[in-house]
Structure 1
């Protein structure tokens, strides 16, 4: 790690990407510019008469109709843009689903429940299991957004130091779990309905009635949690920590334990036990409701098929399964004393979503205009025809798609912004080749996660550098990139291989009710 990263071509490429990424505008500005491109492109392409044959089968064996570009800059198009601006925003699927889920998560975060769970999990682990415990807790912290970055990464450095290990190895392990394992989790969080909403809107370019559940990737992402934990632990102990060398500091080690007063620790323990009991009751109630024959959460055939109401209720269940344990924990520990505290916690969570709401407004307009113009459909059909000519095997096709997403993520650090920009093209394109939107979204989530560790475009990258500087004064962006690169490479290769094995070799669904192949309308 003492070698200057710029000597290696790989790190030179990373610095080139960093400079190029810095030239990109804010994601909101990017959506404004892309929307302008759609408007201008629709006018020019319509004037040129751009069209493709509709690949969907025509009724009665007739010749399929042509898909033509719709001009959005004529009088009719401008009227539609102005009158539908508000419905585009309020009807954008990720907006409501994310905000509802965040109401429950926000209370759990504000009352201290999530932080207490992470801290207890890491501190209670035996010393030889510290690396897996840190990475597992980091992956699970993604249900609470930035809490893993703000709390767990500095805590992991302190814990490693207290064990006589290099604190930067602890920081790297936690960073790898929080950011490199961003999409993996045993539980559904706010990112699941967010991405599912964008995927659904993009899938409807091909199949107008298609629905994508927030739980669409749950099976695969839950299994990925174990993979990230094991691979991240191996990289930490066999690659990163040996490269850092032995740790020596004049600073006294921080005790490996909980140094708060005994009464507060006791309240926290009682609160965790009570919250855990309530969570188990909620889980049992959901299982019982689904298990009962004739349950309203099953579909018309009494099965848990893709159209079962259960999947539409996932966001509400996320809200309740966070809210009820959080209220219990807050009541026992005294962090939630009245309804005012609960409302304040929810309001605080909504306040933090201000930038996201602004982003969604412009993203919703872009996706709607892209849809109306038929540019997205024409690009998807053209791209699908090209893929048909290439006739790539499924693993090669999706490995290439994951790589494209990983490279784009180096310059567009926001998962929602990148997917909102790319999904309207890639989802219909790959659907027309024969793959289901849920599988396409699962592949995207891998590419979006694995390069979070090595891009300064990731919003918390500067914070990680600042924390690392406490233990190495001369550390810079390049040094942190070189430290995290082994995780990025290992996660990218193994996660992609796991995806192809899971989906195409074993034929397992990526989530409940999720199909692997799109059968068409």
Structure 2
């Protein structure tokens, strides 16, 4: 057995033995309780260099923390930012999805693609389809195969390009959406462990995700046309009643669907006009005249959550009215309910993730670990690009075993985000590096939840196409994405490019609110000594 096959088989065995992410969080909470007992007993502590506050480890079994855990359990869940953000957007997105708006928009974009630009259009549409959630997998990927076949090209090349764009390009898009709201919503409470006033908005990675589209599109285009399709060879349509159709006409939009898209377009233009008016009018709620230069539009960026929710809702309703998929307002209410019902697995996960994040804050261990780890990294003096490359690689590794992006980030963010803030790296940049790593290895692991579905799509065109065939087809994309992703993160930092409106690579902490003179321990090493601690310049971490 080849070494590569043995490695992949080993990864599969390990991944299959992992519990559900819900129970992973239960294990993490159990370990956190034990660690808090040890830390409080040994007097672990550090100084928050942003607030000047002395951070001391607290036992999670203390009376105060038990009251927070048990009595405040509903509030802990309600205060978990990603939950409210995702539910808000899903109210609108579920209408857009269930009326058929997303499906028809994707099909319309792909079916009208010029043959010479077929591959790049499939890639861009695939990345844009992330706004459609699961529809991106069940519409873009099989439809790409049909369109390639109709154009006289190998359908599995189209399927591979679609899969690479939808899953491998998961970090890319032209506009922020629910995924940005979810991931950056997890980033904000993690950042507030160090800076309680820090605010993250849905547009915090906007320019970066556009960059992913610009970098990944030519990569998929080249690999598909120059490597994958020649390797697949000439495709001969299978005969028989079960052969998949290659007629694009069977996928064409009806007149009603075209009418629905036109009405949806008018609804989107109306929302854009409304938001422009609210921004430009005197006394606009979207502009803070008292904010610092460059921060005055933060309310506008934070309003994008409501904007996308309302736009999806109105555009979905307009499409449904035009296409005939909505007969009354009750249909739209039902669709919203179905969307929330589909969100149930995430709500279950969010309950445990919310308590893990809150308990890290109550125990003080997250900030203490971040402060001391930042001090150690500062002594090593690694360049900023290498620090962020390490985030990409760690994210890639965990992605081989845990598919949920929000589950991984909920566990990593409370440690990684504060630690990198203390090294002068913005929470948004750390988040962007994580998203890049989470994206690139999706297409190479059979543990990815949609991998069996993609294999089923492929076997419609070639029954002999097995798991190994799909993995070997997607590995060139994954390898190229990893190299490009690491390079892109390093270049972004080196050039100090903006990540989004008003958001940069680096974090400049405000001056400490108060001087701290009480003796504290050097970190996770033992009890506090009697002498005044020295403070490492730039970090506020006390050392003996």
TM-score (ref. length: structure 2): 0.89
> How large is the Cα RMSD of the aligned pairs?
2.0
Q: Which of 400, 404, 408 does residue 414 from structure 1 map onto?
A: 404
Q: Measure how far apart 1:425 and its partner are.
A: 0.8
Count of residues in correspondence between the two structures:
506
For 1:124 and 1:29, the matched residues in 2 are separated by 46
- Selected match of 2:73 from 80, 85, 96: 85
1:30 aligns with 2:35: no
1:510 maps onto 2:499 in alignment: yes
- The residue number in structure 2 matching 1:247 is 235
Instruction: Decide which of 153, 160, 169 is 2:157's aligned counterpart.
Output: 169
- The C-alpha deviation readout for 1:150-208, integer Å capped at 9, x for no partner, is 12211111222222222211111111111111121112221111111110010011011
Equivalent of 1:156 in 135, 144, 149: 144
Residue in 2 that maps onto 1:184: 172
Task: Check 1:481–1:386 CA distance in 2 against 1; reply closer, same or farther (3 A cut).
Answer: farther
Provide closer, same or farther for how the CA distance between residues 290 and 10 of structure 1 changes in structure 2, counting only shifts above 3 A. farther
Aligned to 1:258: 249
- Of 230, 236, 253, which residue of structure 1 is paired with 2:218? 230
Query: What are the ranges of 5 or more consecutive residues in structure 2 without an aligned counterpart?
Result: 511-544
Aligned to 2:87: 99
- Post-superposition Cα deviations, 1:86-144, rounded to whole Å, max 9, x if no partner, equal 11101100001101101111111111111001111111112222111211111111101
Question: How many Å separate the matches in 2 of 1:47 and 1:98?
Answer: 39
1:115 aligned to which of 83, 103, 108 = 103
Contact 1:159–1:254 (8 Å) recurs in 2: no
Aligned: 1:289 with 2:289? no
Cα distance in 2 for residues equivalent to 1:50 and 1:178:
45
CA distance in 2, matches of 1:188, 1:306: 20
Q: Which digits, 9 at most, give the CA deviation of each residue in 1:493-514, with x for residues without a partner? A: 1133223323431x22111121
Separation in 1 of the partners of 2:479 and 2:222? 13
Secondary structure of 2:254's match? helix
Match of 2:117 in 1: 129
Q: Which residue of 1 aligns with 2:484?
A: 494
Matching residue within 12, 15, 23 for 1:21: 15
Pairing of 1:101-500 with structure 2 (within 5 A):
101-251=89-239, 254-259=245-250, 265-292=254-281, 294-301=283-290, 305=295, 308-500=298-490
Cα distance in structure 2, aligned partners of 1:77 and 1:295 = 42
Distance 1:146 1:338 in 2: 25
CA distance in 1, matches of 2:419, 2:459: 45
Q: Give the whole-Å Cα distance in 2 for the aligned partners of 1:23 and 1:379.
A: 29
Shift of 1:420: 0.3
Q: How far is 1:406 from its partner?
A: 0.9
**TM-score, with normalisation over the residues of structure 1?**
0.93
Secondary structure in 2 matching 1:258: helix
- Aligned mates of 2:440, 2:267 — CA distance in 1: 35
